[in-house]
């Protein structure tokens, strides 16, 4: 098997000797305290807790002991530690971190580390629709130490970390836990530097009636954060030569009041002057896309196009209609094929077409009284996602997987003044210096009855703060994201 396997075997034997001397044993490649507190019966599955770098994780599928072998949830742990996961056509799974690549085969005890075969104690397998792997895979890919404490029934994964990040994680952990619990925050939070997750945790309940708690895998509506998906779709079509953002609206839809003066750039930057659609149509009734478009055509503009910023959902509803017209695909299908799949966002879908259970929305932990028909969310607020998938989304944007570098920079540039040093780009608010952090900020929030969301990014430091909440309350998640940023 080569030097790597011999070295690995030697390392395991060496750890076994040290462990015996220290009063522990090696079980299936991980440390286990010598104890009879955890009886492992044949053909049994015992759920156990997980910690990564000292931080307790709330995974939808916990780590387990199955038939005496330890297994950990692959996707959640690999995402937490910044690995790239690829699902191959031959049904194998490839995980990459730095110079290390591990290839896994479901129901097989063999893994391939940089193409060299290695046998692990437990096969990669699926439990409750989640891929579970042996901790030795984590050891091989991340150089992590994996230990098990039988008293607390907790498996701990510890990776070599830069001292700065270790201190930062402790600071964030202390602040966020304290503030979120004090404010009765109900949702999920993720903080990352690049793809390295520094903090992630779910708080409160996804469904109070059923007693289902929020985890880092809970799906929430992200509301107006959807607008960046629409902006990317428009810029992809421009990249393909199917449109120019400087073209007038009249080139795509006829009959709009002063449509020859309104450009796609105006729509993208909320500077078109078109009235807010929620003040034009009945919010409580299902509406066909064309009917909303026709209703907006008959409205006089609120101001001369391009002269000022005024947030209007109408702009992105119209852009969604144009995406459908030029691509020949329904909006949801286009986004799924051109954004969600390339970014690996497997838990992301749409409020009108959900693929997973969505957290229930509350107002002060009771049912919200306001209602907006889902059909009106369309291209301006229909995406549902998880904090982890939104981190993948950000990575795909910054790595130019969704747009080329020129179009990515165009999207993340501020054009029309909102207030202070903040301008609106394409689907994002852009705040340049000077500001309270003296760093460029890229962000967008969203809200629907029962839900709130916030995504804040500092490109200079590659810091992302992602917050999703399924409770309308006085808790200000935009301000909270800034308070988290101040811990850096």
Domain boundary among 134, 158, 182: 158
Domain boundary among 142, 158, 174: 158
Domain count, the chain: 2
C-beta pairs of 37-42 under 8 Å, 24+ apart in sequence: 37/150, 37/151, 37/153, 38/65, 38/150, 38/153, 40/65, 40/67, 40/68, 42/67, 42/68
Question: What is the sign, positive or negative, of the torsion defined by CA atoms of 274, 278, 282, 283?
Answer: positive
- φ and ψ at residue 7, rounded to 5 degrees: -65, -40
Residue 20 falls within a domain, yes or no?
yes
Residue 215 falls within a domain, yes or no?
no
Task: Choose the weakest-confidence range: 42-56, 71-85, 128-142, 372-386.
Answer: 42-56
Question: Do 151 and 270 sit in the same domain of this protein?
Answer: no
Question: Do 257 and 401 sit in the same domain of this protein?
Answer: yes
Range 413-434 average pLDDT: 96
Q: Which domain holds residue 295?
A: 220-485
Question: Do 324 and 229 sit in the same domain of this protein?
Answer: yes
- φ and ψ at residue 113, rounded to 5 degrees: -100, 110
User: What is the reported pLDDT for 480?
Assistant: 96
Inform me whether the pLDDT recorded for 4 exceeds 70.
no
Q: pLDDT digit string (tens) for 317-333?
A: 999 999 999 999 999 99
Residues in CB range of 28: below 8 A, 6 or more apart: 68, 69, 70, 121, 122, 134, 135, 136
pLDDT, averaged across the chain: 87
Question: Do 124 and 272 sit in the same domain of this protein?
Answer: no
Question: Do 229 and 343 sit in the same domain of this protein?
Answer: yes
Domain boundary among 158, 180, 197: 158
Residue 292 falls within a domain, yes or no?
yes
Q: pLDDT digit string (tens) for 211-237?
A: 999 999 999 999 999 999 999 999 999
Residue 106 falls within a domain, yes or no?
yes
Residue 186 falls within a domain, yes or no?
no
Confidence of residue 42 (pLDDT cuts 50, 70, 90): very low
Inform me whether the pLDDT recorded for 41 exceeds 80.
no
d(CA 488, CA 480): 14
Question: Do 10 and 126 sit in the same domain of this protein?
Answer: yes
Inform me whether the pLDDT recorded for 247 exceeds 80.
yes
User: What is the reported pLDDT for 319?
Assistant: 98
Question: Do 126 and 232 sit in the same domain of this protein?
Answer: no
Question: Do 339 and 469 sit in the same domain of this protein?
Answer: yes
Residue 207 falls within a domain, yes or no?
no
């Amino acid at each position: 098997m080569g030097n790597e396997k011999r070295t690995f075997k030697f390392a395991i034997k060496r750890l076994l000797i040290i462990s015996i001397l220290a009063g522990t044993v090696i079980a299936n490649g991980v440390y286990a305290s010598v104890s009879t507190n955890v009886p492992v019966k044949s053909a049994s599955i015992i759920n156990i807790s997980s910690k990564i770098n000292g931080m307790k994780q709330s995974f939808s599928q916990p780590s387990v002991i199955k038939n005496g072998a330890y297994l950990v949830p692959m996707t959640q742990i690999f995402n937490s530690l910044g690995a790239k996961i690829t699902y191959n056509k031959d049904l194998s799974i490839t995980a990459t971190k730095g110079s290390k690549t591990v290839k896994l085969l479901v129901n097989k005890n063999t893994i391939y580390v940089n193409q060299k075969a290695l046998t692990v104690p437990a096969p990669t397998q699926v439990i409750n629709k989640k891929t579970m792997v042996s901790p030795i895979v984590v050891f091989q890919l991340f150089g992590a130490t994996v230990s098990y404490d039988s008293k607390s029934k907790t498996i701990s994964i510890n990776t070599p970390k830069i001292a700065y990040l270790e201190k930062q994680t402790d600071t964030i952990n202390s602040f966020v836990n304290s503030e979120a619990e004090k404010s009765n925050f109900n949702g999920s939070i993720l903080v990352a530097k690049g793809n390295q997750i520094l903090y992630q945790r779910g708080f409160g309940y996804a469904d109070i009636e059923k007693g289902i708690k929020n985890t880092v895998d809970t799906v929430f509506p992200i509301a107006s954060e959807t607008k960046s998906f629409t902006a990317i779709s428009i810029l992809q079509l421009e990249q393909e030569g199917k449109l120019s953002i400087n073209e007038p609206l009249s080139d795509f839809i006829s009959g709009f009041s002063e449509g020859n003066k309104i450009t796609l750039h105006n729509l993208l930057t909320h500077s078109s002057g078109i009235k807010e659609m929620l003040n034009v149509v009945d919010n409580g009734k299902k509406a066909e896309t064309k009917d909303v478009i026709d209703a907006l055509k008959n409205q006089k503009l609120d101001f001369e196009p391009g002269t000022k910023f005024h947030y209007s959902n109408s702009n992105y509803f119209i852009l969604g209609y144009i995406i459908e017209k030029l691509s020949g695909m329904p909006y949801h299908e286009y986004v799924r094929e051109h954004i969600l799949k390339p970014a690996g966002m497997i838990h992301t879908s749409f409020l009108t077409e959900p693929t997973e259970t969505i957290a229930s929305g509350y107002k002060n932990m009771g049912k919200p009284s306001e209602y907006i028909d889902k059909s009106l969310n369309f291209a301006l607020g229909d995406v549902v996602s998880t904090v982890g998938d939104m981190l993948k989304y950000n990575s795909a944007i910054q790595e130019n997987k969704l747009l080329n570098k020129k179009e990515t920079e165009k999207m993340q540039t501020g054009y029309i003044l909102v207030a202070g040093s903040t301008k609106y780009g394409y689907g994002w608010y852009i705040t340049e210096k000077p500001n309270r952090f003296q760093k460029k900020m890229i962000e967008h929030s969203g809200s629907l009855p029962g839900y709130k969301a916030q995504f804040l990014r500092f490109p200079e430091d590659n810091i992302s703060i992602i917050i999703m909440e399924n409770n309308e309350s006085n808790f200000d998640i935009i301000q909270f994201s800034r308070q988290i940023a101040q811990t850096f």
